[in-house]
Structure 1
């Protein structure tokens, strides 16, 4: 992807021209294949990623279990990574590209400067924080008050929205890891959804029918 001021202005229309020029000067462009780890759990964040194109999945980790927290899409970044950058603390999450992605990486010292100097940069993360907080509340409501079959179906709908496709390339094991349950439970629920004509499934894919 060719990165210039015009493209950055399209991605970040509220950013000042001086901010966009700084992004071009200090940013490092990375074209990253899907399924690649871009943030390691426990790493110190020397660079802050901002997604220009593609999707990145952010997970929490406890012992040997993983739980999908949220997706980072175009013109977004990771608020947990920003926290690690600003506080010079290890990352409490890890992130993996969900599709082939174009990501700009910015030095932590510049991020700290931009937070002070540019209101629009601050606002970007304020809105992301608000969005992630609402995502968290929704996830808690699902875990506490909704049956797992509805939560899993909602998860498939959200994944379809993110990818823009009804057919999702994913295994039962991957779904189990992202939803936070056992593979056998996922297989049973997917079979029920298939019987109800809500999905079609095969080796390595699930397709939404409704």
Structure 2
């Protein structure tokens, strides 16, 4: 685990902190689609991503989901941090977008390292800032973009976190992420294809205009 830590976090954390993370952290490999955190869970550890991507979702009263943002290599989740520090139930669902490797940090180390390591404090504050920026972007997308623009942005975001211009996803899965119907998504995807922005294939989409 220490090699993964140094490769992904060596530029952020001093050697002594890397050694502590290696000592108390738990290394996990999770498959695509694995649910890491569910709404209502008490969070006992915080994830540091080594590779892959995790999508963070909210749920309304009817059980419909809305994608908030993705976290990738070198990231952690501000919503998780907030629940850890306040010992509150999770308000988000975290699902692996791709096969993912991560290190789980016990929550009792969170406040201890905030006072002990300046690099950890900076990392946590920067993580809050980054996730807040992404949340504001998600709000702007919902408030100001038309559905076809939201859809194309979503496809490009998925392509970037997957590091592949071809994404394997069904129309229904996209509809769940964007909190709309499959019929609407199918119609808009066809429009995007006619506009030369994507190519539609069976259970996959190629992004032509990245």
TM-score, normalised to structure 1's length? 0.94
Q: Deviations over 1:60-84 (max 9, x none)?
A: 1112110111111111111111111
RMSD between superposed Cα atoms in Å = 1.2
Aligned equivalent of 1:46: 44
Aligned equivalent of 1:91: 90
Aligned equivalent of 2:170: 171
The separation in 1 between residues aligned to 2:33 and 2:75, in whole angstroms, is 19
Aligned equivalent of 1:141: 140
SS of alignment partner, residue 41 of structure 1? coil
Structure 1 unaligned blocks of 5 or more: none
Which of 2, 10, 28 in structure 1 is aligned with 2:7? 10
Q: Deviations over 1:99-155 (max 9, x none)?
A: 111111111111221122111112112112111222122222221121110111011
Alpha-carbon distance, 1:7 to partner? 3.5
The separation in 2 between residues aligned to 1:99 and 1:146, in whole angstroms, is 27
SS of alignment partner, residue 18 of structure 2? helix
How many residue pairs get matched?
207
TM-score, normalised to structure 2's length? 0.94
The separation in 1 between residues aligned to 2:115 and 2:86, in whole angstroms, is 14
Match status 1:110 vs 2:91:
no
SS of alignment partner, residue 76 of structure 1? coil
Structure 2 unaligned blocks of 5 or more: none
Alpha-carbon distance, 1:19 to partner? 0.7
Match status 1:182 vs 2:181:
yes
Whether the 8 Å contact between 2:148 and 2:188 is mirrored in structure 1 is: yes
Aligned equivalent of 1:65: 64
SS of alignment partner, residue 91 of structure 2? coil
SS of alignment partner, residue 28 of structure 2? strand
SS of alignment partner, residue 196 of structure 2? coil
Match status 1:101 vs 2:108:
no
Alpha-carbon distance, 1:10 to partner? 2.6
Q: Deviations over 1:8-62 (max 9, x none)?
A: 2331212121111100100101111111000111111111111111111111111
Whether the 8 Å contact between 2:69 and 2:138 is mirrored in structure 1 is: no
Which of 32, 35, 41 in structure 2 is aligned with 1:34? 32
Alpha-carbon distance, 1:161 to partner? 1.2
